């Protein structure tokens, strides 16, 4: 039977995004050479394929298994151009009909990870600047534990509120929450109530991108106040070890309490082929909208933010662990190696889902169609100011009246700019990004 130690360790280390070889001749030669055998001594006994999609890609081999005749061993070889040795035995043969569940799980994970996207899209730099976590100072104002063995310890913020808070910080919106919430915290066995109208305004100017250097007490308090509102809006079940909240309903409540669009949509990956799923995410990122994403393993789920794309099938993930493991991943191999507060010892490749269309509710006041390269979005805030967002870095923004007077001018290095509510008539907005100039009539 299989040498599971070799198989699992090799699969963990294997490349997950690759191109498929057209045939298995080279793989056969690699397997034979590895065992010091002639190709005539080797028999192909198992082929694992990647999943087919509904677009211009078909199911293709992801790995081959060759037995050496006479029960003298087997070799598992990747079907990509590298023909990597993934697992082997010099003593046993491979019998697919008696494959252990753990072996099948790793093969399934590997084969799903090797599907190469056929879509074409430009790279999009990560939208978020924040690298936040779930512990101090973010949880400074979270409740204390009441459960036996944890009494008096500060509860974590939770992965769902951390993802939401980072997206809100990206938009630096709203000025303050509204409404109230009342719910039962099942982990702490207590009712929780919060009147958002009595909470302080969000102090965006004092909130930092990161808190690993030496922040001031004002900066710590500002981010902790944000998390008070976000955790309660998420109806979080607080815990010292893990704080739980439901991603879909929590993100939807951004419209109820924080003035975000009611057009937020929920998507389950199981309902899409790989290319369509990736295209949905890329469309959001091109519109400068971060995506709140979730995945799970056999024991726990995790919610995080997808905020960038490398142009080659890999997406940038902000895990919400103070920057730990942030980087580019295949969506079929979300296996962070260094996990932080509220993390686990496994990846998050099952039960994937995402929330799209997250942006402040607004009336754009834009006449005509917007440029799509880069795609610039305009959001009218409740106070009359405008939030301008772009997937490309905005370097300059100018607003002119219809008679040519300059109403607003700003040099900027980022993906968002807020324009003050200083003009109610028609005007011209000129935006220069790292890619091109966009000029639009506004009102």
- Domain boundaries of the chain, sorted by first residue: 4-113, 159-356, 376-442
Q: Domain 4-113: which CATH class?
A: alpha beta
CATH topology of domain 159-356: Cathepsin B; Chain A (3.90.70)
Say whether pLDDT at 402 is over 70.
Answer: no
Q: Which residues pair with 308 in a beta bridge?
A: 316
Confidence of residue 24 (pLDDT cuts 50, 70, 90): confident
- Read off the pLDDT of residues 347-387 as tens digits, 9 standing for 90 and up: 788 899 999 999 998 634 333 333 333 456 666 666 667 77
Q: What is the mean pLDDT of residues 397-417?
A: 70
Q: Domain 376-442: which CATH class?
A: mainly beta
What is this structure's pTM?
0.64
> Between 148 and 307, where is the model more confident?
307
Say whether pLDDT at 433 is over 90.
Answer: no
Compute the mean pLDDT over every residue in the chain, rounded to the nearest whole number.
Answer: 80
């Amino acid at each position: 039977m299989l040498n599971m130690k070799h198989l699992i360790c090799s699969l963990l280390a294997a490349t997950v995004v690759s191109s498929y070889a057209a045939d298995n001749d080279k793989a056969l030669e690699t397997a034979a050479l590895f065992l010091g055998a002639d190709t005539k001594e080797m028999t192909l006994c198992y082929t694992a394929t990647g999943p087919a999609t509904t677009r211009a890609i078909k199911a293709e081999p992801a790995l081959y298994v060759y037995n050496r005749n006479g029960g003298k061993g087997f070799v598992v070889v990747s079907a990509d151009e590298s023909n990597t040795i993934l697992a082997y035995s010099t003593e046993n043969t491979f019998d697919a009909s008696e494959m252990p569940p753990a072996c099948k799980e790793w093969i399934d994970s590997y084969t799903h990870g090797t599907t190469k996207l056929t879509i074409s899209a430009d790279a999009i730099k990560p939208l978020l600047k924040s690298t936040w976590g779930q512990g101090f100072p973010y949880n400074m104002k979270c409740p204390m534990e009441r459960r036996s063995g944890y009494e008096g310890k500060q509860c974590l913020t939770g992965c769902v509120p951390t993802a939401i808070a980072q997206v809100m910080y990206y938009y630096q919106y709203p000025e303050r929450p509204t409404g109230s919430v009342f719910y039962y915290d099942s982990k702490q066995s207590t009712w929780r109530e919060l009147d958002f109208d009595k909470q302080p305004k969000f102090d965006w100017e004092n909130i930092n991108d990161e808190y690993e250097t030496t922040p001031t007490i004002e900066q710590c308090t500002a981010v902790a106040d944000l998390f008070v509102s976000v955790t309660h809006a998420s109806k979080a079940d607080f815990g010292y070890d893990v704080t739980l909240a439901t991603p879909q309903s929590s993100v939807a409540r951004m419209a109820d309490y924080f003035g975000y669009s009611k057009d937020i949509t929920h998507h389950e990956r199981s309902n899409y082929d790989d290319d369509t799923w990736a295209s949905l995410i890329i469309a959001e990122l091109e519109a400068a909208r971060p995506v709140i994403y979730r995945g799970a393993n056999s024991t726990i789920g995790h919610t995080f933010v997808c905020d960038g794309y490398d142009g080659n099938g890999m997406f940038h993930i902000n895990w919400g662990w103070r920057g730990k493991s942030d980087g580019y991943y295949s969506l079929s191999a979300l296996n962070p190696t260094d996990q932080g507060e509220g993390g686990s010892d496994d990846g998050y490749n099952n039960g994937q889902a995402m929330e799209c269309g997250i942006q402040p509710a607004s009336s754009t006041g834009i006449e005509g169609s917007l440029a799509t390269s880069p795609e610039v979005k305009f959001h009218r805030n409740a106070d009359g100011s405008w939030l301008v967002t772009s997937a490309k870095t905005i370097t300059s923004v100018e607003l002119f009246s219809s008679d040519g007077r300059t109403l607003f001018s700003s040099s900027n290095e980022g993906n968002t700019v807020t324009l003050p509510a200083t003009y109610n008539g028609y005007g011209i907005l000129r935006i220069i990004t790292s890619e091109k100039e966009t000029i639009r009539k506004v009102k």
